[in-house]
Amino acid sequence: MGNISESESENVRETVREGYTSIAKGESSCCCGTSSPEKLAQAIGYTQQELEALPEGANMGLSCGNPTAIANLQPGQVALDLGSGGGFDVFIAARKVGSEGKSIGIDMTAEMISKARTSIPKFTEKTGLSNVEFRLGEIEHIPAADSSVDVVISNCVINLSTDKQQVWNEIARVLKNGGKACISDLALKKVPPEEIMKSVAARVGCVAGAVLIDHTMEMIKQAGLSDIKIEEKSYTLDVMTDCNDPLYKEVIAALPKGTKLSDYVVSVNITAYKM
């Protein structure tokens, strides 16, 4: 999105925080998700084995890709998930990095952090691993030391930020030399109608905050990352068609007649390295 004032940015941030607080409490769902979180996860490449190892409630259906698959995580690595929610990708990454590694989740919503932390004992009981940590913080100001992370992942979250350049700058800061970012997100193929871009439902549901793919590429380069690859995926929007979420329905209702959400928005997998 374009330049906005600090007060407008804070209003958006608070709107997103309130929306995801409601989701964490089970009072609503999110149109990044679907009526069947497991169906969505399987459609975008998560294995049944990965899903069965998750603590109950960790999969909240908020994914728009599978960053742990493209990350090729290795034992002993430190993985950091931006916007970790209920801990879905953090717990999956923890199994991949093993007992010598560490899997860290960052989220700005206290209720999400609390929910995720509650699941840690269940995860340890299932896997025998004690390598998971959740930290409260904003992705524009990541609570992690410089050059301390091997792989940064994120799943349908950076689009929520009003200062995406700062997010990419922070990703570059916390990555070790040779480290990589593996991001699944939503991007725009073309700009949706103004009514959608101003919609609270579209903001919480990840659509209104998405930007054009070329703009994303520019921000990643500006942050100093290189060897950038952006791969478009259509699967998420296809499996969302059976979603009964009122937020999703509100966004769909605002589309021009004869158009569908996939005409405007696409899922992308992004990889970039700190060389």
pLDDT digits (tens, 9 = 90+) for 81-117: 999 988 999 999 999 999 999 999 999 989 989 999 9
- Predicted confidence at residue 69, as pLDDT, reads 86
Does the structure show a pLDDT above 50 at 131?
yes
Token pair 């700190």 is found at: 274
The residue ranges of DSSP E strands in the chain, in sequence order, are: 78-82, 102-107, 132-136, 149-155, 175-188, 226-233, 265-273
The full 3-state SS of 138-186, as one line of letters, equals CCCCCCCCCCCEEEEEEECCHHHCCCHHHHHHHHHHHEEEEEEEEEEEE
d(CA 28, CA 8): 24
Pair type for strands 78-82 and 102-107 = parallel
Copy the structure tokens of residue 106. 């960052």
Copy the structure tokens of residue 209. 């905050």
Burial class (CB in 10 A: 0-12, 13-18, 19+), 175: buried
To the question of domain 6-273 being in CATH 3.40.50.150, the answer is yes
- Predicted confidence at residue 15, as pLDDT, reads 58
Of the candidates 221, 271, 272, which has an alpha carbon nearest to the alpha carbon of residue 69? Answer: 271
Which DSSP state fits 263?
G
pLDDT digits (tens, 9 = 90+) for 203-229: 445 555 778 899 999 999 999 999 999
pTM for the model: 0.81
Phi first, then psi, for residue 271 (nearest 5°) are -125, 140
**Mean per-residue pLDDT over the chain, rounded:** 81
- Predicted confidence at residue 226, as pLDDT, reads 97
Yes or no: say if 29 and 249 are a contact pair by the CB < 8 Å rule. no
One DSSP character per residue, 198-221 reads T-HHHHHTTSTT--BHHHHHHHHH
Distances (CA, A) of 234 to 3, 140, 212, 219, 269: 29, 28, 15, 23, 11
Q: Provide, for the chain, the percentages of residues in helix, strand and coil under a 3-state DSSP scheme, each rounded to the nearest 5.
A: 40, 20, 40
